[in-house]
């Protein structure tokens, strides 16, 4: 098995510096220090820039901030922007409102295997507890099993066992393809595989399914899926749902690409690299 020599964690964000700070603090506390952080910013204002600068000054690992102008929801492009800035051979995508467990990087490293991506899972937090956590700067890493059980019983966590158990690698490979439950808020992909399919497709507009599209094209290129549940959990802070006006049309594109075997993004990493080189 070929291990990942360096991991790049790409954290997407947009105008939520309090949540971003909590996520990056959790990244600073990882038990595996052999990674870098790229904050991929989809057009945030100076409040986020100031937050990132404060974090960068005491970062124990390399930290970069890449930014693009606010022209609506452009998650695909900003993830590609982060990928182009990354130096790692293994890319872990993490959203700026998803707090990772302390072993998040080390577990992704253990699960990394050539020919596979890893789709992680998440624990949803309630609106009430999200506010409490951010206001009081609660360190989730310090919560014991009883604390986590109480939060589950109170409805503040939507899961419990996933927060206290880590299951072994055996049985995680999914030979039968499915793009259900794909979340780019916790998704690991080899850099060479991203290059092979031209990364995320920036032609997807509005919210929805740009992550599913990537996974479909990776599968069409021969990349299989491993399940990261009970190993790579993140705590997803509550937020209002995004507008989903383009969801149905984006879904149709994904289904068509699954049927016709499309591998390359229409507008992806290669086009963005050429644009930035001008």
Query: For residue range 219-259, what is the model confidence (pLDDT) as tens digits?
Result: 999 999 999 999 999 999 998 876 555 567 788 888 899 89
Rounded CA-CA distance 261/217 in Å is 7
Rounded Cα gap, residues 169 and 166, in angstroms: 9
Buried b (16+ CB within 10 A) or exposed e, 196-229: bbbbbbbbbebbbbbbbbbbbbbbbeebebbbbb
Region 65-94: mean pLDDT is 96
**Mean pLDDT (whole number) for 183-195:** 93
pLDDT of residue 178 exceeding 80, the answer is no
Decide the pairing of beta strands 224-227 and 186-190.
unpaired
Question: What is the percent of the chain where pLDDT is above 70?
Answer: 94
pTM of this structure:
0.94
Which of 25-39, 80-94, 170-184 is the least confident region?
170-184
The burial of 4, by beta-carbon neighbours within 10 Å (0-12 exposed, 13-18 middle, 19 or more buried), is given as buried
218 pLDDT more than 70: yes
Give the pairing of strands 224-227 and 116-119. Answer: parallel
What does the mean pLDDT of the chain come to?
92
Q: From 96, 274, 92, 256, select the one nearest 198 (Cα to Cα).
A: 274
Q: Which domains does the chain have, with CATH numbers?
A: 7-277 (3.90.550.10)
What does the block give as tokens for 120? 């992680």
């Amino acid at each position: 098995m070929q291990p990942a020599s360096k991991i790049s964690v790409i954290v997407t964000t947009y105008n939520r510096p309090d949540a971003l700070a909590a996520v990056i603090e959790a990244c600073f506390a990882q038990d595996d220090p052999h990674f870098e952080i790229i904050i991929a910013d989809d057009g945030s204002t100076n409040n986020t820039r100031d937050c990132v600068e404060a974090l960068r000054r005491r970062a124990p690992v390399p930290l970069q901030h890449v930014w693009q102008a606010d022209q609506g929801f452009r998650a695909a492009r900003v993830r590609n922007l982060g990928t182009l800035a990354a130096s790692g051979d293994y890319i872990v995508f993490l959203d700026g409102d998803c707090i990772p467990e302390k072993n998040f990087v080390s577990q992704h490293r253990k699960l990394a295997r050539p020919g596979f991506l890893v789709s992680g899972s998440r624990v949803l937090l309630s609106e009430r507890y999200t506010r409490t956590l951010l206001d009081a700067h609660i360190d989730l890493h310090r919560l014991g099993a009883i604390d986590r059980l109480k939060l589950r019983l109170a409805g503040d966590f939507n899961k419990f066992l996933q927060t206290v158990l880590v299951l072994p690698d055996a049985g995680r490979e999914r030979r039968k393809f499915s793009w259900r439950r794909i979340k780019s808020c916790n998704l690991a992909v080899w850099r060479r595989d991203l290059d092979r399919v031209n990364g995320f497709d920036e032609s997807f507009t509005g919210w929805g399914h740009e992550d599913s599209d990537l996974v479909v094209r990776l599968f069409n290129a021969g990349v299989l899926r491993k399940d990261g549940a009970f190993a790579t959990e993140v705590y997803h802070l509550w937020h209002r749902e995004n507008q989903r006006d383009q969801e149905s049309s984006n879904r149709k594109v994904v289904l068509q690409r699954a049927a016709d075997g499309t591998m390359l993004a229409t507008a992806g990493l290669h086009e963005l690299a050429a644009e930035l080189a001008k």
